[in-house]
Amino acid sequence: MGAVPIASLGADGPYDFVNYNAHYGWALNAIQNGHPEWLVSEMNMRIDREHFLPDHDDWCYAYGSDAPNERKYGRVSILQARLATQNGMSWDSPGQGTLDGNAHVTWARFQPVEVMRQELKGKFLQMMTKLADPGARADAYANITDTVVTLGADGPYDFVNYNAHYGWALNASRGGRAL
């Protein structure tokens, strides 16, 4: 892939602009003057630029119902992993608790929707079983509920309101009702 396509995909250096002739001329000149390593160096710098392949989004680039399913899965799964880590919980399978959002998205990319649903449900069940503190269970329920609703759940009780979900879950948890 040449500099022109990379520049158009978000590289952000001072010489990252879309102009095939300028890049071609510069590259040809560097080669003819015996400096092909300049091409590799320049391309490496361009590929390493922050905006070309960003990897800084804690929500796995899933912000609403239009997000791809693997990104929605990644956002919920990484949230579950973080909440479990904060509470010292271990998972049945080590990969379930990874804090690398890309790992969650990559796994989901090749799974049918029903498999993703079952995995999220299974992880939630583990959390409700393994988190001993009712407050931790209520916090997990409220956080995950708000996230799932944000990403498209649309049932009669699906609304974003952490306090309402936390209060309900804490009451249910303390009353001995399984979540």
Are residues 92 and 17 both part of a single domain? Answer: no
Of 25-39, 41-55, 75-89, which gets the smallest average pLDDT? 41-55
Q: Residue 1's pLDDT is what? A: 46
Over residues 3-12, the pLDDT tens digits come to 545 444 444 4
Mean pLDDT value across residues 103-120? 96
Give backbone dihedrals phi and psi of 168, rounded to 5 degrees, phi first. Answer: -60, -45
Residue 43 has pLDDT above 80, yes or no: yes
Q: Residue 53's pLDDT is what? A: 66
Are residues 97 and 30 both part of a single domain? Answer: no
Instruction: Sort 104 into a burial class: Cβ within 10 Å, 0-12 / 13-18 / 19+.
Output: buried
Nearest-CA neighbor of 145 among 80, 61, 63? 80
> Could you list the residue range(s) of the whole structural domain that residue 34 is in?
3-48
Are residues 82 and 128 both part of a single domain? Answer: yes
Instruction: Sort 108 into a burial class: Cβ within 10 Å, 0-12 / 13-18 / 19+.
Output: buried
For 12, what's the count of Cα atoms within 13 Å in the CB-facing half-sphere?
8
Are residues 29 and 95 both part of a single domain? Answer: no
Yes or no: say if 92 and 51 are a contact pair by the CB < 8 Å rule: no
Percent of the chain with pLDDT over 90: 65
> Which contiguous run of DSSP H or E holds residue 169?
helix 162-174
Sequence-ordered strand ranges (E) for 26-156: none
Yes or no: say if 75 and 151 are a contact pair by the CB < 8 Å rule: yes
Number of domains in the chain: 2
Give the residue with greater pLDDT, 117 vs 56: 117
Yes or no: say if 71 and 83 are a contact pair by the CB < 8 Å rule: no
Residue 56 has pLDDT above 70, yes or no: no
Are residues 41 and 95 both part of a single domain? Answer: no
Are residues 18 and 76 both part of a single domain? Answer: no
* Residue 57: inside a domain: no
Are residues 31 and 75 both part of a single domain? Answer: no
Yes or no: say if 13 and 45 are a contact pair by the CB < 8 Å rule: yes
- Residue 94: partners with Cβ closer than 8 Å, 6 or more residues away: none
Over residues 73-101, the pLDDT tens digits come to 999 999 999 999 999 999 999 899 999 99
* Residue 63: inside a domain: no
